[in-house]
Structure 1
Amino acid sequence: MDRLKEKTAVITGAGSGIGRAAAVLMGREGARIVVADYDTAAAEETAALVEKAGGQALPATVDVTDEGSIADMIAATVREFGGVNVLCNHVGGTNPRTDLDVLRMDMEEFQRGIARNVTSTLLGTRHALPHMLRAGGGSIINTASVAALVGDVLQTAYGAVKAAVVSITKSTAVQYGPHNVRCNAIAPGAVLTPALENNLPESVVEDLKKGNALPYLGSPEDIGHTMVFLASEESRYLTGQLLVVDGGMTMQSSAAPGRRAQLPA
């Protein structure tokens, strides 16, 4: 399998969950992977999994809110592998205990959300772009969220910052498309990452399933496969787009789960 043969991919937040799945899948497809994470041990674990799958991997410790740290990560990538062809700006997240409604939201959490989700995406792109331009093109993949598309009773900051990620994606695509650099975003729905499984009661997980058109929640590999597609030449005519990978959660009527339950067996 060589859909990404001779490509070098930098994946931030690759120490677990979706980022780890994407790293292993891209390595299996022939890419050289820079496994970047704030947690050094987690990055090393993922790198070992990539190599076990037959790929090449370089673990890298990075703080995506710090420009110097990102610059060091990209410089290490170029020293080790000669360039950057694919960048996955995957780090993000929020604190659901402090990211509340507009009146009660912790403003410090809002600023942290901007740094983790928006600033990190912009800085990663700024430092990878010169190497993609020298190489004649590349693919940037940003992780947004379905929270960017719908309103919610809580997590006001998360929805706002992920909407900003979508906007940065479109601007990057317009500005650098003439140089053969593509930029797309993925909006995952509910995905069974370790963070979700370890922090949500089973009853909440079941409610999330009911909100999907499909009868199950996504796996990290489901999003990872989408990242592989966006990194490959199979998506060469796709740029500036938001791919919603959510099992049909955001497209179905809120009444659909209840009506489905009333249907005859």
Structure 2
Amino acid sequence: MAASTSPAVQKPAAPALADQVVVVTGGARGLGRSIVQAFLREGARVLINYRASAEAAEQLAAAHPGQAVAVQADVRDRAQVDALMSRAKEAFGAPVSTVVNNALVDFSFNGDARAKAGDIAYEDLGNQFSGVVEGALNVIQAALPSFERAGSGRVINIGTNLFQHPVVPYHDYTAAKAALLSLTRTFAVDLGPRGINVNMVSGGLLRTTDASAATPDAVFDAIAAGTPLGSVTTPDEFADAIIFFASPWARAITGQNLVVDGGLVKN
């Protein structure tokens, strides 16, 4: 008797980038702005989430009428995030297909000003967990009904290479991002059977964002010298990696953490 074979599981077709509705949290400035612009370049419709940067968000949306909309929401507040998802459906007439968890609440990238190990309070860690982990959790859960309607979904979380290369005492930030990496992996397993891919893209110091604008050239030069490519990653280069994870070409990839830092950290 011939052995029975089970039919191959058919992965849900991911929509082309030009057919996608994308939500980028913290999308008005810095890296978030580059991420938004990368999706707009590929023809996607983008909801630009912001908390306080109203002018920058509105200007970016106004430059792409019909393709982008700016919506204020604090990702720590589930009701505001639910309203944000509803606004995306209203604006574009289609379910959200990709979310990028980029928002970072109340953090200064200044190593000299950060609390050291002997001084940092759990409250500091709690504040970052609230913005990074609770924020991502709210966004992912609020997007699930849209993913269900679409038959697939992409979640892309923004991490850091400080997991592997903790050269700066960003204890609270790094711990929160490490927790987000764990959430990326466990959610990938839990949501995979529903056609939802969950991945992380991690970088280091970018040249240049609002957060790194005050960084001395000597620091950038030292980082560049430590990379095989001999350069510091730009926000636009980093954003292109995010585009890959949202694209149909990444349909078989989930639960991964891609480090995009010119090869400084070997993951």
Give the TM-score range, shorter chain. 0.7 to 0.9
Q: What does 1:9-158 align with in structure 2 at a 5 Å threshold?
A: 9-38=22-51, 39-51=53-65, 56-81=67-92, 82-92=94-104, 94-95=107-108, 96=110, 99-152=114-167, 154-158=169-173
| Alignment gaps of 5+ in structure 2 | 1-14
Match of 1:199 in 2: 214
TM-score (norm 2): 0.86
Q: Secondary structure at the match of 2:103?
A: coil
CA distance in 1, matches of 2:177, 2:75: 16
Q: Is the 8 A contact 2:206 2:235 kept in 1?
A: yes
Q: What does 1:178-189 align with in structure 2 at a 5 Å threshold?
A: 178-189=193-204
Q: Is the 8 A contact 1:212 1:248 kept in 2?
A: yes
Aligned CA distance change for structure 1 residues 205 and 143 (closer, same or farther; 3 Å) = same
Higher relative contact order (CA 8 A, sep 6+): 2
Offset of residue 98 of structure 1: 5.4
Offset of residue 150 of structure 1: 3.3
CA distance in 2, matches of 1:213, 1:162: 25
Offset of residue 64 of structure 1: 1.4
* Percent of residue pairs bearing the same amino acid type: 29
Q: What does 1:250-261 align with in structure 2 at a 5 Å threshold?
A: 250-251=265-266
Offset of residue 201 of structure 1: 1.9
Q: Is the 8 A contact 1:141 1:186 kept in 2?
A: yes
Offset of residue 7 of structure 1: 0.9
Paired amino acid for 2:98? V
More helix by share: 1
Q: Is the 8 A contact 2:197 2:254 kept in 1?
A: yes
Which 10-residue stretch deviates more, 180-189 or 200-209? 200-209
TM-score (norm 1): 0.87
Aligned CA distance change for structure 1 residues 111 and 178 (closer, same or farther; 3 Å) = same
Paired amino acid for 2:18? K
Paired amino acid for 2:214? N
CA distance in 1, matches of 2:215, 2:72: 28
| Alignment gaps of 5+ in structure 1 | 253-265
Offset of residue 197 of structure 1: 4.0
Q: Secondary structure at the match of 1:185?
A: strand
Total equivalences in the alignment? 248
Q: Secondary structure at the match of 2:157?
A: strand
Q: What does 1:163-182 align with in structure 2 at a 5 Å threshold?
A: 163-182=178-197
Offset of residue 228 of structure 1: 1.0
Please give the root-mean-square deviation of Cα atoms over the aligned residues, in Å: 2.0
Paired amino acid for 2:137? L
CA distance in 1, matches of 2:117, 2:71: 37
Aligned CA distance change for structure 1 residues 220 and 101 (closer, same or farther; 3 Å) = same
Q: Is the 8 A contact 2:206 2:212 kept in 1?
A: no
